[in-house]
Structure 1
C-alpha cells in the first residue's frame, strides 16, 4: 500500500508538528510520509491554512484536492478561493471556520488524540512544567526565567515528540507559550496556563481556546508565573466535556478514503 502523503511543517525540530504524522498514521492504519504542500493528500496539525491558500489559489493548480483535518489559520485568510480546491473534513476552531465562511459547530485540534497513541504511564508527579514556543528556547528572557525558577521543569519542544509528551503527561501543571504544549496537556488531562508567546500571533491560541469554550483571553506574563494560583491537580479540567466532544469529532471526521481498508 502506498504511504499517505501528509504535509507538516518541519523546518526546525518541534514536537507539535512532529506528532502530526504519528496521529494521522494511527488513525489511517497506514505509513505516513512527508509531502510537499502541492503533493499532499492531507493537512492536519498546525496553522497551515495560509500555506494551503497560497499553494492552491496561486499559479498552476496542483493536481490534488487534499483533505483539511484539524488545521487552522495563522492570520486572516479568505476562504472563498479555496472552496472546491480542498476538502474540509474539520478545522481547528471557530475563528478559522469564521474566516473561511464555514458554518459548523464541530472543531478539533488533532493533537488532542495523542493520548490514544501514547497513553500516559505511571502516576503524575508534582513537577511544574514550563514548555516554551520553540522559537523562544534561545531567547534571553526565557533563559533568564529558567535560571530564576529552578522549581520549574523545562520541557524542550525540540526534543523527540514522545519524550515531550511523556514529560507533559507526568506534570502536575504546565505553563506553556507553545500552543501544542497547551493542547497536549489538555489531551492528558493536565491543567495548564497560557504564557506570553512573545512575538507569536495570538489568533491560533484564541482559535483553539474557542473550540473548547476555554477562557484564554490573554496570556500570563513570565513575571506573573511564580504567583499564579494552581488548580487542584486531581480535579478534572473544567472544559473536559468539550475536549471529549472535540476528540469524538476528530475521530468521526477522519476521511474514510484515507484509511487503510479503503486506500488504494
Structure 2
C-alpha cells in the first residue's frame, strides 16, 4: 500500500465549556469556509494533471496550500501557496526546512528565507485564486442587495455593523453566491476579500478584532500591490468600497495565475491509472 498526499486544512472542533467537564474540544467543526478551500483546489489540480492522491515516493506527504497554517508544518512538508500567521510566535514553528514551491506573498517568502537561510521561489498567490479557473462553478453576478458583511471567524458573534451578514462557517457555495449578489462587500475575512476581488465585487477590509495585518499585507503584495487599505470602522470601509474609483477597478490586474499553476507539486503525486495507461 502506498502513502497518500494529504492536503492540510485547519478545521478543529469547537470547545464546549460544560459545568461537569473541563473545557474540551468536542463540539462541531469550525468549518471556516476559507480554510476548507485548499483541498478543493488541490483536487481540481490533480484532475487537470491526471495524478492520483497516492504519493510517488510511497511515503505519506503533507501539502500546505491555502491558509496561514505553516506553524502546523514539519520538516520536509511541501508548500504551495500557504502563508505565515503573523499572530503566531516564532517558537511555535517546529520546522527548519520545507519543500517550498510557492507562497502566498513576499512577506512569507522573506520570513521562511530568514528562518532557513535558503532562497525561496518568488512565486506568489493564494491557491484560492485558482478556484474558478480550475472549473469550480462561478456564481452569476446579479446584485440584489446593497451591502454584505462577512466577518472573520474570530469576529463572528460580535456586533453586526450594518447590512446583510453571512457567516464564514457557511458552505463555500453559499458564501460565493452571497458575495455575487451584493453591490459592495465589507469584510474582515481574507478569503471573503479574495473571492470578492475574483468576482469583481467592490470590497473593503475592516480591521479584524484578533488577526494580525500580516496575512492581508502578504496577500496584497503577492498580487502586485504595495498596500491594502484597512479601515477602523464600518462607515469608512463602506465609503471606500462604494466610491466610483473602486467600483470598476480590477484589483488582480497585476497578478498572473500562470506561475502558481506551473509551480504545483505534481511530482509528489502518483500518475493516475488513466494517465499511466495512456503514456
User: TM bucket by the smaller chain?
Assistant: 0.7 to 0.9
CA contact (8 A) 2:105 2:124 kept: yes
Shift of 1:213: 2.9
Residue from 261, 271, 274 that aligns with 1:261: 271
Instruction: Provide the rounded CA distance (Å) in 2 between the counterparts of 1:160 and 1:32.
Output: 24
Residue from 231, 235, 244 that aligns with 2:248: 235
Instruction: Provide the rounded CA distance (Å) in 1 between the counterparts of 2:85 and 2:222.
Output: 15
Structure 2 SS opposite 1:240: coil
For the pair 1:109 / 2:126, whether they are aligned, the reply is yes
Match of 2:96 in 1: 82
Shift of 1:219: 3.1
Correspondences of 1:1-264 after superposition (within 5 Å): 4-11=5-12, 12-29=30-47, 40-52=61-73, 55-56=74-75, 65-75=76-86, 77=90, 82-83=96-97, 86-101=98-113, 102-116=119-133, 117-127=135-145, 128-139=147-158, 141-142=159-160, 145=161, 149=162, 152-214=163-225, 215-228=227-240, 230-232=242-244, 235-237=248-250, 239-243=251-255, 245=256, 247-258=257-268, 261=271
CA contact (8 A) 2:71 2:84 kept: yes
Tell me how large the CA RMSD over aligned residues is.
3.0
CA contact (8 A) 1:256 1:262 kept: no
Instruction: Provide the rounded CA distance (Å) in 2 between the counterparts of 1:104 and 1:258.
Output: 18
Q: Which runs of 5+ in 1 are unaligned?
A: 34-38, 57-64
Higher gyration radius (CA): 2
Structure 2 SS opposite 1:242: coil
Instruction: Provide the rounded CA distance (Å) in 2 between the counterparts of 1:235 and 1:226.
Output: 15
Q: How many residues align?
A: 237
